[in-house]
Amino acid sequence: MRKNKTKKKAVKALNYDLFRIDKHAPPAPATLYTEIREHAERTTVYTPPEPEATVATPLPEVAELYLRYDQFNWLYFRGRLPQVRIEYSGRMMSAGSYDRRAKLIKVGRKYHEIFPGELNDTLKHEMIHIIHYNHSAAFKAEAARIGASVKASLHPALSRPPRYIYGCPQCGMEYPRQKRLVMSSCGKCSPGGRFDARYKLRLLRSKKRGI
Ligand SMILES: [Zn+2]
Ligand SMILES: [Zn+2]
């Protein structure tokens, strides 16, 4: 009986020792292969982002320009600007102009086909010209107040033709652009202003490739 107890004690001590030895044992030296494997587990493979699907909007109708004029008039001028005529000019190379005698704002079609994002800016700029005819200090102060730019009348990029011309396979609408459109659909045809693969714009002409 006593002998058995001693044996158990000895086994216990042995277990304990084994346990301790195991715990304090240094980790196995990392081999090149384990390093490579661990690195691969840590690193996620780079996947390039999907091109963003966009809708290329054609220039708004003149009626829309009048609406925006009214909006800006109330927003920035307390509705005090007089009613003026607004029209697109197909020949004008500049962004816009204001004719004091005719009380007419002209919006350059070519310019905004290439820089569609600047349309509101142009409208606001020409609206200031109703009050300040020249780009005077007073004009600049107004431009700063309402967040319009004091731009040169002719954008340097306009002396070059657009680099890319895209077209809608459905309606034939052309979209001249200085930058590449990766995944854009026609704004006239895409329902709800959302990208629609059926109306994805195709590259018709490119200056680089010369097609
Ligand atoms: Zn101006
Ligand atoms: Zn279309």
State the distance from the centre of ligand 2 to the C-alpha of 143, rounded, in angstroms.
Answer: 36
State the distance from the centre of ligand 1 to the C-alpha of 122, rounded, in angstroms.
Answer: 9
- What type of residue sits at position 37? R
What is the reported pLDDT for 211?
45
State the distance from the centre of ligand 2 to the C-alpha of 183, rounded, in angstroms.
Answer: 14
What is the reported pLDDT for 195?
92
Give the pTM.
0.60
Q: Is 123 exposed, middle or buried (0-12, 13-18, 19+ CB in 10 A)?
A: buried
Q: Which residue has the higher pLDDT, 60 or 57?
A: 60
State the distance from the centre of ligand 1 to the C-alpha of 5, rounded, in angstroms.
Answer: 105
Q: Is 96 exposed, middle or buried (0-12, 13-18, 19+ CB in 10 A)?
A: buried
State the distance from the centre of ligand 2 to the C-alpha of 120, rounded, in angstroms.
Answer: 23
Domains of the chain as residue ranges with CATH = 59-156 (3.30.2010.10), 160-206 (no CATH)
| Mean pLDDT lowest among 71-80, 125-134, 146-155, 184-193 | 146-155
Q: What is the mean pLDDT of residues 159-186?
A: 87
Task: Give the ligand whose atoms come closest to the C-alpha of residue 143.
Answer: 1
Q: Which residue has the higher pLDDT, 84 or 151?
A: 84
State whether the Cα torsion 191-168-171-178 is positive or negative: positive
